[in-house]
Amino acid sequence: MRLLAVRGATGMPAGEIATELGQAPSTLSFHLSVLEQAGLVQSTRQGRHVIYAVRFSGLRALFSYLTETCCGGRPDLCGDLTRLLPDDKREASAMTAAFNVLFLCTHNSARSIIAEAVLNKIGNGRFNAYSAGSEPAKKPVPDVVERLAALGYDTSDLRCKSWDEFMGPSAPRMDFVITLCDTPQGQICPDFGPKPLTGAWPFPDPAMFKGSPVERATLINELIGMIRRRLEIFAALPFETLDRMGLKARLDELGDSNRMAR
């Protein structure tokens, strides 16, 4: 319960819970089933995975029950424990699991970090965005980071990373892997396993932007706007009703520049 409470409404896949707690999946499944029947956790299916999250309304009810006869009928002596939990009104009636999205580009210095920053801001907790590259630069393009910060995006954690960071057993499992340029330097993207859906959304390379600082700033602003519009459509997709084939088709549509320009 403590582990799930830390994750909040986004929850955790059952497999990750088993790994964190060192429990056999069958044992964990039994206990999660008991907790769900008691109204203390809730589950939702995301692809082949079952995601579990705390039901804070259930915890509030449990604490109220446990303290209603506290200290010989004087629950005020126990303090208002339920006040420490999120308000019932703020708890969603149905849990929405967060999707992990990895954006790839050769140097992970501009387009992919723009997508990471934008989706983490507009995703409202429904997405965990990451970025990486096949040949990461030493640092992001400075004026790209400056424009992101000026537009209100969080740039504090942006850095150039190798896609090898997302290949190990401790790396977050990706639901979507999206390249924002042609296949990086003609290389074949690594195998992230059977789970992620892949897409290719080509965008112009800021390294090719020429002109004065003002002209470059204008072009970078336009690029950020293009990526944001694409991600707004992506974030609004009906993930709960689309199967894998339907989601893949929508990803491919978003990568069709001619279709998006209409």
Domains of the chain: 2-90 (1.10.10.10), 99-261 (3.40.50.2300)
Stretch (H or E) spanning 178: strand 176-179
Residue 196's alpha-carbon distances to 12, 19, 66, 92, 262, in angstroms, are 17, 21, 44, 26, 28
Task: List the pLDDT tens digit at each of the 262 positions of the chain.
Answer: 989 888 877 788 888 899 999 988 888 888 888 888 888 888 876 656 788 888 887 887 777 777 666 666 565 666 655 455 555 444 444 445 578 899 999 899 999 999 999 999 998 878 989 999 989 999 999 999 999 999 999 999 899 999 998 887 777 788 899 999 755 555 556 667 667 899 999 999 888 888 888 999 999 999 999 999 999 999 999 887 888 888 899 999 998 765 555 5
CA dist., res. 112 & res. 214, Å (int): 22
Contact between 113 and 223 under an 8 Å Cβ cutoff? The reply is no
Contact between 49 and 10 under an 8 Å Cβ cutoff? The reply is no
